[in-house]
Chain A
Amino acid sequence: MAAAALGAVWCALRPPSRLLGMWPAQTRDAHQRASLLSFWGLVPMRAEPLRKKKKVDPKKDQAAKDRLKKRIRRLEKASQELIPIEDFITPVKFLNKTRQRPPAELPFEESERRALLLKKWSLYKQREHEAERDAVRSLLQAQQEALRELQLTAPELHAEATKRDPGLFPFERQGPDYTPPISNYQPPEGRYHDITKVYTQVEFKR
């Protein structure tokens, strides 16, 4: 009897492929059925039909995202302040009138002396500028003459001499100070406390 029932179950199970696909699902709820072999237990009778996805939903989502982005963009534009140039802003404490000096009244001799000195100075600077210009010009002329002589003597050396020197730039040099550096100088001990204001400007890229 049991063998015949098993045979009937086997025949019921064998042909349809969809029932074969449902085989693992059926074995899952085996503990809920009265017996393993009941037919009605094998066929799933309690499922819902599959829900259809609404076609309008993706568009609504996209519209919502666009609105949010627009709001973000507006906020960012409003907050894009320019970094203030602190040199151009007069601190308020210097607008105080008590700070102003009384205008200096110069005697006649003093103003005359100043005017004469300024005239002498402008003449001196003009001569200095002309001397510098002449010096640079003579240097360049000497250089050009030497290169011409080199070209006549040894053209390949001239070609080498007129090549660019990659190590020449960036050119850095410490200028002359008022006093020479002291050997074995001990600078005073201490720490720097840097209080410069650092501004950051957020760049919003579209």
Chain B
Amino acid sequence: MAAPIKRTVLGVARGWRRFEGPWPRSLGSRSLALAAAPSSSGSPWRLMGALCLQRPPLVSKPLTPLQEEMAALLQQIEIERSLYSDHELRALDEAQQLEKRKSDLYEEEDERNILLAQDLEDMWEQKFLQFKPGARITEADEKNDQTSLHRKLDRNLILLIKEKLGDQDLWMLPQAEWQPGETLRQTAERSLANLSASDPAESRSSGL
């Protein structure tokens, strides 16, 4: 029976992946781990309630080459099928006028300071370059610092704790032993409270 239980445990831990929260972390569901150590009360099982605490992705995944090509193609098709916008019409008119002036060789007495559509576009480009968006690959990624929350922003991160189980040190979900009179959800919340570094107010729990 030991092998099927292990499979169940792993399957269950894999299976609970519901997440939420505008919060940096969210409390996922509970998983039930059946430990085979017999207790003195007569039942052969010790119930543990585990906690799946997740940090949902803040940033979208980078596009694959096929997705990039498709995105570019869709953009092209959209431009081809659209009408000219006001800005584009203005740019076309100004281009025509410039051509006429060059071909006529008519010298203007005073240079008019008109803001061309091209100048506007350059200004917008400059403004865009001045803005520095947040980095998608953070410092924690580069240092490979596994204790910070601000790393791997495009993935779903789950909290693991190194605990001694018998002789071995294992990376497991934070667990707490179930006490009679409480539900498994309360057991999981208790194990969240026991984690010294966490602030329970930051996480939002969903009972899945």
Q: Could you tell me which A residues sit within 8 Å of B by CB distance? A: 94, 98-101, 104, 114, 117, 120-121, 124, 138-139, 141-143, 145-146, 149-150, 153-154, 157, 160-161, 165, 167-168, 171-174, 176-182
Smallest CB-CB separation from B93: which chain A residue? Answer: A98
Residues of A within 8 A of B32 (CB): 146, 149-150, 153
A173 touches B21 (CB 8 A): yes
Residues of A within 8 A of B83 (CB): 94, 99-101
Smallest CB-CB separation from B184: which chain A residue? Answer: A157
B60 touches A149 (CB 8 A): no
B134 touches A173 (CB 8 A): no
A153 touches B34 (CB 8 A): yes
A180 touches B20 (CB 8 A): no
Q: Could you tell me which B residues sit within 8 Å of A by CB distance? A: 8, 11-12, 14-17, 19-22, 30-32, 34, 45, 47, 56-60, 66, 69-70, 73, 80, 82-84, 89, 132-136, 138, 150, 153-154, 178, 183-185, 205-208
B184 touches A101 (CB 8 A): no
Shortest distance from the beta carbon of A160 to any chain B beta carbon, whole Å: 4
B207 touches A165 (CB 8 A): yes
7 closest cross-chain pairs (CB), A and B: A142-B15, A165-B207, A179-B133, A180-B134, A160-B183, A99-B83, A146-B12
B154 touches A139 (CB 8 A): no
Q: Given A176-B57, A180-B58, 17 other A-B contacts at CB below 8 A? A: A99-B83, A100-B84, A104-B80, A117-B73, A121-B66, A142-B11, A146-B15, A146-B31, A150-B184, A165-B207, A173-B22, A173-B56, A177-B60, A179-B59, A180-B59, A180-B135, A180-B153
Residues of A within 8 A of B57 (CB): 176
Give 28 CB contacts A-B under 8 Å.
Answer: A94-B83, A101-B82, A101-B83, A117-B70, A121-B70, A124-B66, A138-B15, A143-B15, A145-B12, A146-B31, A149-B34, A150-B32, A157-B47, A157-B183, A160-B184, A161-B185, A165-B207, A167-B206, A168-B207, A168-B208, A173-B22, A174-B22, A176-B60, A178-B136, A179-B134, A179-B136, A180-B58, A182-B134
A160 touches B185 (CB 8 A): yes
Smallest CB-CB separation from B13: which chain A residue? Answer: A142
Residues of A within 8 A of B59 (CB): 176-180
In the bound complex, CA of A143 to CA of B16 (Å):
7
Shortest distance from the beta carbon of B120 to any chain A beta carbon, whole Å: 18
In the bound complex, CA of A153 to CA of B5 (Å):
13
Mostly, the B contact residues are: loop
B183 touches A161 (CB 8 A): yes
Residues of B within 8 A of A98 (CB): 84, 89
Shortest distance from the beta carbon of B11 to any chain A beta carbon, whole Å: 5
For B8, give its contact among A120, A121, A149, A165 (CB under 8 Å). Answer: A149
In the bound complex, CA of A98 to CA of B90 (Å):
12
Smallest CB-CB separation from A104: which chain B residue? Answer: B80
Smallest CB-CB separation from A120: which chain B residue? Answer: B66
Residues of B within 8 A of A173 (CB): 19-22, 56
Residues of B within 8 A of A94 (CB): 83
Smallest CB-CB separation from A110: which chain B residue? Answer: B76
For B12, give its contact among A99, A142, A172 (CB under 8 Å). Answer: A142
In the bound complex, CA of A126 to CA of B172 (Å):
36
